[in-house]
């Protein structure tokens, strides 16, 4: 069959079995790519360029290849807006059950929604297995309400408010509910507040446009010059004007929280804004102050009422209260969190600590113990800390029952996993990861069980695809295989190097696991490279510092060179921070100058490092520090075979003492 006509001829010839393009056994590691591999790679590039002609010319060359579904997907997706329903249905039939089928249906449903072709949308949506596209879900709710007038307002509101960017689908569903009187105008105002607070002006203008078309320009003016909007403003108790003033004060708080605090405290706003409006504004002021580690942050939060604040405000109020040692306010803020956020192990742990510290009643103390027991495990940072609060130490769990040959074959012969591994092997990592995640989630039948996940992780481990090995094994609910979750590739090289420079190998492994998941040629968006994700300027500086006089930039992804430079730099920052693992991890991720500032000026309190880490202003670095230290503790349990303490590794963090050595200001 001439493959360039395949999508139109499938409808005539019928469905081709999946086995026609999927090998019966997993691909073995090869040293070079085949001609078909090269054609697939060329198609990937052509798709990125939008080269429809090139895609059509290459398509016949990948017929029968394990990644044929990807080639066919790219060829059709590039011209989806021009394709006939028959062509689309032919593709969906031929590649039924694959990630590519579901991916194309996702794309098609979005297009159908944008075109308002609701009849076709409603026919196709029930076959959509992925189910994780919020825009598709909003279109589905829009059609369900139109067709059957069922109650969907709460679902629409939740999806709309959670969208980080301006979104046509969820905005359309929200507009429908607003016009029907099912969704209150307050939801649109909340959406606008979130846009102003999070530097998303399009979110704010879109939300206000649903209430009044003339307000989009007003929102833009407020975003650009909030002080000018507030100047001479008279409310006269008009609700709409009050809400616009609230937006201006929120925007002002983002740029200058102290100026906003003075403004909102003026008599006219005290008397004319509602408690709910003022509490939200104080929540923004408090959050922006807390991000600057201001000592006044908690006082700002306390000017408002917790029950009127957003979850993000409450998270930052809790952090500010921890820094101030105010357990009453930790308990108050965590009690006001939404049910979903309150279940997060971070806030379960700190609420338990607050109840235990306050110890007002026997019931509170019992609740603290119950909360700690509900999360205590070796699975993560706060889970490990909960174990220690209960008087236990971190140990590696017993290995699960060995996988059977049948279980291993189930993973080895899984077509989606085969395609994923082959894609990763030839350099299509993004595509391979997406297909792997889809295959292990198994949307069409509810997800893999623990044993299937362990078998899939084992397959990835055997192929040395360490990121899929780790991430898949981490998803088991009951059975836990630490050798999968915390593998130790390049063990001889790491142990030799760490012994030479006096560095804890568990710390190095904990950091590499977080940095690159042991992907040798990993590169970040900002240019960090290799196992230890070293930036090129840092690599050159460190190479000179540790005596690698013949270092060349292209060597940055060489395993031994990368380990030598990465560990050398880590040792330098660890020494610079007097052996503090959390501060050195923060320095490795965000640069040394930032954690120096985050530790506080002379006179600032000495904090538990867990409190210090939770108050790191950068989301990425905060998560990074916690994960590296948690990883380190589990690796130490594996390497030593002895119980470990995360708390001992964390220690305390406070201002630099007067008799400490001067930091190395040249550390990049």
Give the tokens for residue 119: 């009849």
Task: Give kind and range of the element (H or E) at residue 653.
Answer: strand 652-653
Locate all alpha helices (DSSP H) within 132-200, ordered by sequence. Answer: 134-148, 153-162, 168-179, 185-197
State the sign of the Cα–Cα–Cα–Cα dihedral 317, 322, 323, 326: positive
Strands 652-653 and 607-608: antiparallel
Backbone phi and psi for residue 529, each to the nearest 5 degrees, phi listed first: -135, 155
Gap between the Cα atoms of 350 and 368, Å rounded: 9
Backbone phi and psi for residue 300, each to the nearest 5 degrees, phi listed first: -60, -50
Nearest by Cα to 406 from 460, 451, 437 = 451
Active centre residues (catalytic) = 515
Gap between the Cα atoms of 121 and 473, Å rounded: 36
The pLDDT of residue 7 is: 40
- Provide CATH 1.10.530.10 ranges for the chain: 491-653
pLDDT digits 0-9 by tens, 165-216: 999 999 999 999 999 999 999 999 999 999 999 999 999 999 999 999 889 8
Gap between the Cα atoms of 509 and 271, Å rounded: 58
CA 51 to chain centre: 32
The pLDDT of residue 335 is: 98
SS3 648: helix
The pLDDT of residue 251 is: 97
CA 357 to chain centre: 32
The pLDDT of residue 270 is: 84
Nearest by Cα to 569 from 598, 552, 592 = 592
Q: pTM (2 decimals)?
A: 0.92
The pLDDT of residue 1 is: 37
The pLDDT of residue 239 is: 58
State the sign of the Cα–Cα–Cα–Cα dihedral 146, 152, 156, 157: positive
pLDDT digits 0-9 by tens, 235-253: 544 557 789 999 999 999 9
- Which three-class secondary structure string do you get for 375-402? HCCCCCHHHHHHHHHCCCCECCCCCCCC
Which parts of the chain have pLDDT scores under 50?
Answer: 1-30, 236-237
The fold of 491-653 is Lysozyme (1.10.530)
Nearest by Cα to 509 from 563, 569, 457 = 563
Give the tokens for residue 564: 């030598």
Locate all alpha helices (DSSP H) within 337-465, ordered by sequence. Answer: 339-342, 345-358, 362-375, 381-389, 405-412, 415-425, 429-441, 450-462
Contact between 15 and 96 (Cβ < 8 Å): yes
Give the tokens for residue 545: 């510092």
């Amino acid at each position: 069959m001439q493959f360039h006509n395949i999508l139109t001829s499938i409808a005539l010839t019928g469905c081709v079995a999946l086995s026609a393009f999927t090998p019966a056994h997993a691909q073995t590691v090869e040293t070079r790519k085949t001609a078909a591999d090269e054609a697939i790679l060329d198609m990937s590039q052509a798709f990125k360029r939008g080269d429809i002609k090139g895609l059509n010319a290459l398509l016949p060359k990948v017929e029968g290849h394990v990644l044929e579904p990807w080639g066919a997907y790219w060829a059709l997706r590039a011209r989806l807006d021009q394709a006939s329903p028959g062509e689309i249905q032919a593709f969906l039939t031929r590649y039924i059950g694959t990630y590519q089928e579901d991916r194309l249906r996702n794309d098609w449903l979005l297009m159908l929604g944008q075109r308002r072709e609701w009849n076709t949308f409603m026919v196709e949506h029930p076959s959509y297995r992925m189910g994780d596209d919020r825009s598709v879900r909003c279109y589905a709710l829009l059609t369900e309400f139109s067709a059957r007038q069922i109650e969907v307002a709460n679902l629409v509101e939740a999806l709309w408010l959670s969208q980080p960017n301006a979104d046509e689908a969820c905005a359309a569903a929200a507009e429908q509910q607003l016009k029907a009187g099912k969704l209150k105008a307050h939801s649109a105002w909340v959406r606008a507040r979130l846009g102003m607070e999070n530097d998303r002006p399009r979110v704010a203008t879109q939300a206000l446009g649903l209430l009044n078309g003339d307000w989009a320009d007003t929102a833009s003016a407020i975003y650009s010059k909030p002080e000018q909007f507030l100047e001479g403003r008279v409310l006269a108790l008009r609700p709409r004007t009050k809400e616009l003033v609230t937006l201006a004060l929120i925007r002002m708080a983002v740029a200058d929280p102290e100026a906003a605090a003075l403004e909102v405290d003026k008599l006219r706003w005290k008397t004319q804004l509602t408690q709910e409006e003022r509490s939200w504004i104080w929540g923004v002021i408090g959050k922006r102050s807390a991000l600057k580690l201001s000592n006044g942050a908690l006082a700002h939060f306390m000017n408002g009422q917790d029950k009127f604040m957003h979850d993000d405000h409450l998270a930052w109020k809790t952090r500010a209260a921890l820094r101030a040692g105010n357990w009453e306010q930790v308990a108050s803020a965590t009690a006001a969190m939404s049910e979903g956020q309150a279940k997060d192990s971070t806030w379960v742990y700190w609420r338990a600590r607050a109840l235990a510290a306050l110890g007002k009643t026997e019931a509170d103390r019992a609740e603290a113990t119950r909360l700690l027991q509900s999360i205590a495990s070796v699975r993560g940072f706060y889970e490990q800390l909960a174990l220690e609060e209960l008087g236990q130490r971190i140990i590696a769990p017993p290995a699960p029952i060995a996988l059977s040959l049948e279980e291993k074959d189930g993973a080895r012969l899984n077509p989606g996993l085969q395609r994923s591994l082959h894609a990763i092997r030839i350099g299509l990592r993004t595509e391979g990861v997406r297909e792997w995640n889809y295959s292990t989630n198994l949307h069409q039948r509810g997800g893999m069980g623990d044993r299937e996940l362990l078998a899939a992780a084992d397959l990835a481990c055997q192929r040395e695809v360490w990121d899929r090995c780790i991430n898949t094994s981490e998803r088991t609910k009951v059975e836990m295989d630490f050798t999968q979750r915390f593998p130790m590739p390049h063990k001889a090289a790491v142990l030799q190097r760490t012994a030479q420079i006096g560095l804890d190998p568990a710390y190095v492994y904990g950091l590499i696991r977080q940095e690159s998941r042991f992907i040798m040629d990993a590169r970040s968006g900002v240019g960090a490279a290799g196992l230890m994700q070293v930036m090129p300027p840092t690599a050159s500086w460190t190479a000179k510092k540790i005596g690698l006089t013949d270092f060349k930039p292209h060597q940055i992804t060489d395993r031994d060179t990368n380990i030598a430079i990465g560990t050398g730099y880590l040792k330098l920052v660890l020494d610079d921070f007097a052996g503090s693992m959390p501060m050195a991890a923060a320095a490795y991720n965000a640069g040394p100058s930032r954690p120096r500032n985050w530790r506080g000026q002379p006179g600032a309190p000495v904090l538990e490092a867990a409190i210090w880490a939770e108050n790191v202003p950068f989301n990425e670095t905060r998560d990074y520090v916690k994960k590296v230290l948690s990883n380190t503790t589990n690796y130490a349990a594996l390497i030593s075979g002895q119980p470990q303490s995360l708390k001992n590794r964390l220690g305390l963090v406070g201002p630099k003492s007067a008799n400490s050595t001067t930091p190395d200001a040249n550390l990049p």
